[in-house]
Each structure stands twice: as C-alpha cells, then as structure tokens.
Amino acid sequence: MPSRWFRPANGNVWMMGVLNCTPDSFSDGGNFIDVEKAVKYGIAMRDAGAAIIDVGGESTRPGSQPVGLEDELQRVIPVVKALALAGCTVSIDTMKAEVMSQAVAAGAVLVNDVSALSFDEESLDVVAASGVDVCLMHMQGTPETMQLKPEYNGVVDEVACFFEQRIHTCLQAGIAESSIVLDPGIGFGKRLEDNLALICATGEFKKRFPMPLLLGLSRKSFIGSVTGAAVDDREIETAVAGAIGILHGADILRVHDVSLQGRAIRMASALS
C-alpha cells in the first residue's frame, strides 16, 4: 500500500502547519504555551488548509537546550489530545520515545523526529508497534551544536546515504516502507550552499527513494542569509523556495503561515 503522504495526482502538495508549544522556538516561541490558545490555533490552521498539525514541545533551533521529559509531555499531550478529538490530523515533533508513545495514544498519527529515530533507542520499537507514520529527518550534530561548523564533501550524496541507512534500520525494526516520509533537514547542520543544493536536489531524492519527501523551509535562517530579511518577514522567500521544491517533486511543505503559504502552494501545485 503506498504512503498516504504522496502528493495526490493532479492535486496540491500537502501542508504541515507548525504548532510550537515552546517558550524558545526561533520564530514563534512563547506564542502557544497556553493549551487553549494552542488548540484554537491548531484548529484554525486545519480550517485554513493544513493537512497536518505538527505539535512540538522542545525547540530544535540552532543552539537550543534539551527539555526534560515531563516538561515536554505537559506541553504537548493535552494539545495533541484536544486537536485529535477536534478531528485534526496530528503529528508529534519529538525525539523522545515516551513522548511519541503518549502522543500516539492521545491521537497523533505521525512521528516527526529530527533525529530520524536515532536519539532514543526505544523510538524504533514505539513506531513499529504503533504502526503510525514517521518522518525521518537528516541532521548533522544536535540542535545545540549543529550550526557550529557543519561540513560536507557532497551534501546531497551524504544525506542520501544517511536516508539509506535509516530506512534499512527502520525496515529491520518492523516499520513499513509505506509509513516512512523523508526530510533532508534544511537548516539542521547545513551551510547556506548546502540548503540551496538540497532544495534543488528534491527531484533526485524522489528518484532515489520511493517515499514522500517533506521540506521544512519556512522562515529558516538561510533565507535571511540570502535576502537579509528578519525572521518574522520571510514569507515571500518561503513561498519562492517552497515553489521550487514543489516543481522538483516535494510532497509536503512544513509552514508557519498556513493561509498565505497555502495560496503559494496552490499556485505552484497548479504549475507543476
């Protein structure tokens, strides 16, 4: 059975709306610590066209510090449960197996792990046993260290090799191929030239791997490096980069401004 997250034939690329229940995320930290406010915003994103609401309780911005398990659980589980009960399709953005497990029990149907299920040794078993979908992202280093001095001999080939290794590990653990989504990890241990190369290589990844491809471009620092725009003024650049990704075959875009980016996605999808 093919993954449900491939772009629909003659349809629009899926949107994943970002819901950071954190005090320190790079773009919207502190905005959605309150559960009621977070749930209301998640439902609004769903109503504006987000196919997935991605709930996270630990910032993974460059230089961020780890969050304790109990703090992360308190931030995300009530939000996941309420959104699922409201009919939203929810993903849980976490590296911790216990958060994954409780979020799935609360209604999450996708695990979005920036460590590609490598941070917590129990996460492979949690995903395999639950049967939920999983997004495997490439990251060089950790959120705390990833932007100190990233280096690659050939970023596209190195990320592809990483995907091959993690896919093999997941399949060996009992995770279905149709459950896997891939994310090259724009901004996660990457230089400007690496980010640009990975976006342009979307089509190559699609040729190499029979899985949906997610791009997380929204408001990232590489945009500021190119245009000088502040983090809260990068929606135009996000739309342009997303359109390039769509033209090269991306299946899912992870975005902050669902309403605005939805317009760009519909236009780029119609042209691709």
Which residues belong to the active site? 220, 254
Of the candidates 271, 242, 269, 268, the one whose C-alpha atom is nearest the C-alpha of residue 255 is 242
CA 138 from chain center: how many Å? Answer: 11
Distances in whole angstroms, Cα of residue 18 to Cα of each of 44, 164, 248:
12, 27, 23
Please state, in angstroms and rounded to a whole number, the distance separating the CA atoms of residues 87 and 85. 5
CA distance readout (Å), 42 to 39, 56, 116, 133, 250: 5, 12, 24, 20, 23
Q: Please count the helices (runs of H) and the strands (runs of E) in the chain.
A: 10, 8
Q: Reduced to 3 DSSP states, what percent helix, strand and coil does the chain have, rounded to the nearest 5?
A: 45, 15, 40
Backbone dihedral angles phi then psi of residue 92, each to the nearest 5 degrees? -115, 120
Q: Are 252 and 244 in contact (CB under 8 A)?
A: no
